[in-house]
Structure formats: C-alpha cells, structure tokens
Amino acid sequence: MVVSSQPILQNSSNLYRTCKSTSDLHFSDNNNSVIPVIDMLDPKAKFLITKACQEFGLFKIVNHGVPNDTMIKLESDAVKFFDLPQCDKDKAGPASPYGYGNKRIGSNGDVGWVEYLLLAVNDGLVSEKFVNIPDSPQLFWYALNEYVAAVRNIACVVLEKIADGLKIEPKNVLSRMLKDEKSDSCFRLNHYPPCIEIEAYSKGGRNFIGFGEHTDPQVISVVRSNNTTGLQISLKDGTWVSVPPDEHSFFIIVGDSLQVLTNGRFKSVKHRVLANSVKSRLSMIYFGGPPLNEKILPLSSLMEEGEESFYKEFTWHEYKKSTYMTKLSADRLGLFEKNIIVPYAEDLPNLGKIIL
C-alpha cells in the first residue's frame, strides 16, 4: 500500500462527500446518548457487552483498569511526532503498509483529512523493524508497548466476557487468537488536523471526511482518542450518529471476523471520522487480529442444531488480502457470504439466552 508523502493540507477537494446531515441530532455522553456505556466491574457486564455487540457493534467501557498516565504519555509522544516538520515525518514512510502516511488511505483511491502511523504488533509487542521513526527515543517505544499491552489485555478480557455471555466453551475460544504468538494484530495512530474549509462545505449539507466509512476486518478494535469529536457510526437504518469522545475511556468495535465467528449474531459496525474546523483529533487504535493461517468460520460451540453457516470458509490471510484490494466503503465481507440471506442478530436461534 503506497501512501502519498505530500503535505496533508494539499488537494482537499476529493475529501468532500455528500451525505445526510445529522447536525439536527444531539448525542451527548449522558443518559440520552445512544452509545452503550458498560462498567467492566458490573457483574452483568458480560451480558451487557453481548447485547451491545448485537445492537450496535460499538460500546464504551469504563473502569477498565488502564492508568491515565499510560494513555496520556503515549498521546503526548504521538503529538510530538505529528508536530515534526513534514520532511522528518516522511522519513517514517511511505506506509507499505506499515509506517507513516497522509491523505491517501490504501492503494484504491481512498483519501481522508488524516495523517497516520501504522505499526505491526508481533507477539504483543510493537515491531520496530518495519518502520524508521526519526529521532525516536527508546522511551517512545516503551510507552508504545506499555499502552499496546494494556489495550490488548482489554480486548482479551472483552472477548472472554463475550464467550461467557454467549455460554460457549472454552472461555478463551476468541481471546486465544490475540494471545497467540503469531497473532496478526496492528496499532494505528491517526491525527486529524483542524480544517478551516469545513464550515463553507457544511452549508451545502456536505461533511468533510477525515477517514471514510468502513468496517474493521479484524476480530476486535480498541479505540481511545482525545476529547475532539469526529467519530460516527451507522445505525441499522443507515442514520449516522456521533460518538461522544471521552479521553478517559475506551471504545470497543466489533470487526468483520467476529461477525463471521458468531455467524452474524454480531454485526461489524460501519464507522467514519469527520474532520473538525477548530481542534485536531488524535486517536489510538489497537486492531486485534488472528494468526494469518487461522480459519475464520462460525464457532461450532455456538451453532445450534441444523443452523447453517452464512459464510464460506476462509483464512484470515485470505480475507486480509481481499480487503487490501477493495475500497474502504466496499462490502468486503459480502464476497465471502454464501448465497443465502444473512439475518439480523435477533432472528438467529436462541439469542434469548443472552438477553437480560
């Protein structure tokens, strides 16, 4: 994946997309918010998580156990990197796929008002061999690995609560993929600079795209950002709603692979990021992926008698390769669906056992 090394503030015309405005909707981090908030210390957390995965594909977790210092230190280091002169940042790129990139996302024509640093995670540690970050002190890599270890642990805890909530065995049937020494996971730092052109385009009902609509192909994603808005998810009826930012919490996103592993009981959520006219947004995302040779197919312990798989059998390597060949907004999982109708989660067998 070749990424342009041009400065991020050039050629912005391709970043505009016409879409239904959601400016008349109000979603705040309170009881009126549509985004589920789950306390990890709640005895019912396993059921609440499972329900959130069915209905939204995204939820916020609090009381997660990660110290604020761990989050703040990495954010500070990331800000220092993105504040470097463009010529210095370019030394860490072009992303292929790992490294620094800006504006161009992948090699299929997708662009966004974003610059990023994509890093491989091998056996739980961020790999330094795929990218050369100029003048990066060892403390930077220490902060990275401390943070990645913490969020990988969160991902595994969430996956084990999902298994518990679904009443499937063994408990680590999902988390083992991330804990495997050959787990194909990655970590991404996204920086969305403020854009003064946004207001002129918003008058025409258009949104300025920071990162285009897509689903995550992996099993699960753990997202943390600063307190700048921008992240949105698409509900089942196609309405885009804002996700209130919270720098002290994490957002969990269901990936395509988890949708297949649950045979459609969970749905990977389509999401995007809109640029901001005043403040920059910095997000840090851990993508928990299985080993490349892992077969992605519905879990036998979850399937009911006579229940048919809605998906063709494939490996993570096959699916990952396919995603690199398609645009962000494409229905990438559709290529692996059988010629049968995939129902909504509530239409699948015995889901009553996991509803409160």
206 is catalytic: no
The CA distance from 65 to 55, in Å, is 25
125/96 Cα distance (integer angstroms): 19
Query: 152, 265, 272, 281: which one is catalytic?
Result: 281
Overall residue count recorded for the chain in this entry: 356
Q: Regarding beta strands 240-242 and 231-234, do their DSSP bridges make them parallel or antiparallel, or are they unpaired?
A: antiparallel
Beta bridge partners of 340: none
Angle made by CA atoms 89, 90, 91, in degrees to the nearest 5: 90
Q: Can you read off the two tokens belonging to residue 48? A: 């609440």
Sign of the CA dihedral with 148 first, then 79, 127, and 291 last: positive
Q: What are the φ/ψ torsions at residue 299 (nearest 5 degrees)?
A: -65, 125
Provide CB contacts within 8 A for 320, sequence distance 6+. Answer: 184, 217, 289, 292
Strands (E), the chain: 16-18, 37-39, 58-62, 99-105, 110-122, 125-126, 185-192, 206-214, 220-225, 231-234, 240-242, 250-254, 271-274, 281-288, 295-296, 314-315
**Nearest to 74, CA basis, from 225, 221, 216:** 225
- In order of 43, 126, 160, 333, 350, the CA distances from 213 in angstroms are 34, 27, 28, 15, 32
Residues 6+ apart with CB under 8 A from 277: 194, 195, 196, 197, 198, 199
C-alpha torsion 158→61→21→228, nearest 10: -120
- 75 CA to centre of own chain: 17
> Which of 156, 196, 157, 201 lies closest to 180 in space, CA to CA?
156
Q: Name the nearest CA neighbour of 100 among 82, 118, 83.
A: 118
Query: Which residues does the annotation mark as catalytic?
Result: 281
